[in-house]
Amino acid sequence: MMTSLPNDDELFDLVAKEALVERSRLSRDAALKDLGIASLDVISILFEVEDRFGIVVDEISLVDCATLGELVDRLKAEAVSAA
């Protein structure tokens, strides 16, 4: 059961914490690669999203995300589809 739908700011804060990236560096058009966010970081972010928001996300749907905006949009889309 989902507790709430995440917004961009909540997801950016979560990404900053889990991937150890300064929050001020995060923007929707920032490339994950340029931020130093690797696949293991994405998995860590995914687990935290699942724990915090009660969203079950198929990690395969996140594999081709190149920017932070794409990652956030996919996570939000999963949240909406689970609602």
The total of other beta-carbon atoms located within 10 Å of residue 28's CB is 13
- Are the beta carbons of 71 and 42 closer than 8 angstroms? yes
Note whether residue 2 is domain-resident: no
Query: What whole-number distance in Å separates Cα of residue 36 and Cα of residue 52?
Result: 23
Query: What whole-number distance in Å separates Cα of residue 53 and Cα of residue 24?
Result: 23
What is the arithmetic mean of pLDDT over 30-42?
95
- Domains: count for the chain: 1
Note whether residue 1 is domain-resident: no
Per cent of the chain over pLDDT 90 is 65
The pLDDT tens digits of the residues spanning 42-75 come to 999 999 998 998 888 888 888 899 999 999 999 9
Q: What are phi and psi of 67, to 5 degrees?
A: -120, 165
pLDDT at residue number 2: 45
Note whether residue 54 is domain-resident: yes
pTM, rounded to two decimals:
0.88
CATH code of 22's domain: 1.10.1200.10
Note whether residue 32 is domain-resident: yes
Residue 1 has pLDDT above 50, yes or no: no
